[in-house]
Amino acid sequence: MTRVEIDKIMAILKKEAGRLKVPVVGLIAEETQDPFKVLISCLLSLRTRDETTAAASERLYQIAETPAAILKLTQEKIEKAIYPVSFYRNKSRHILAICQILEDEYAGKVPNQLEPLLKLPGVGRKTANLVVTVAYNLPGICVDTHVHRISNRLGLIRTLTPDESEIALRKKLPPKYWIEYNDILVPYGQYICTPLSPFCSRCAVIKFCKQEGVKKHR
C-alpha cells in the first residue's frame, strides 16, 4: 500500500469516525484529562463492553479518583464498584497493586513512557500505548483487536497478533497518524468493519481494501 493510499484512507476514516460514537476511554480522556483515570478505565475496558466500562468507571471514581484514595478502599469495595466488568476480581487486585506502585515509586503520578507502564500489574502494550497517546499526547500506536483486524483487512500489514501489528505499523504507518490511529479505527471496527460479516457495502474505503480474511460480508 502506497503512502498516497494511506493518506486517502486516513482522511476518509477520520471523517467517518467523527460520525460514530467515541470509545469510552477516549471520552474519559477528553472529559477529565487525567492520565490515572485513563489508565484505570482502560484496564476496566479489557474484554468489556463500552457501556459497562463507562458505568463501572463512574461508580469507582465517585468513591475514589486518585491512587491514594483508592488505597483506602478494600478489594471488596472495589469489586462491588466495578462489577460486572470482565475479570472484576483480578482487575480489582491489579488496581490496588498499581495504585501502591504509583504512590511508592512515582509520587502518585502515572508514567508517560511505555517501559514503566508495562511493569504495572495487568498492563499490556495496548493499555500502555493508550495512556501514552490519549493521556499524554505522545507518540505511540495503540493496537487492540479492531486496529489489528482492520489494518490486516486493508492489506496495510500482515500479522498474526496485536503486538506484531504494533511493530509492523510503527514501520509502515506515517508517524503523524500514530496518536489518532486507535481512536479512528476502533469506532469503525465496532460499527462498520465488524469481526464477523463486516458491512462492506457501507464501507467508505472499500475501494482501497483488500478484504484480507473476509469470508462473508454484508
CA 38 to chain CA mean position, Å: 10
Name the active-site residue from 37, 91, 126, 183. Answer: 126
Residue of 37, 91, 144, 183 with catalytic role: 144
Q: Distance between CA 17 and CA 72 in Å, rounded? A: 40
Any catalytic annotation for residue 126?
yes
How far lies 71's CA from each of 25, 92, 101, 176, in Å? 22, 11, 11, 38
Residue in 152, 185, 182, 144 with CA at minimum distance from that of residue 168:
152
C-alpha cell at 38: 485513563
Whether residue 174 is preceded by a cis peptide bond, meaning omega within 30 degrees of 0, is no
Q: Residue 60, Cβ neighbours under 10 Å: how many?
A: 24
- Spell out the alpha helix ranges (H) of 33-177: 35-45, 50-63, 67-70, 75-82, 88-106, 114-118, 125-130, 145-154, 162-172
Residue of 39, 24, 23, 28 whose CA lies nearest to 128: 39
- Separation in Å, CA 186 to CA 1, 37, 78, 157, 211: 21, 19, 28, 17, 17
* 14 in catalytic set: no
Catalytic residues, by residue number, are 126, 144
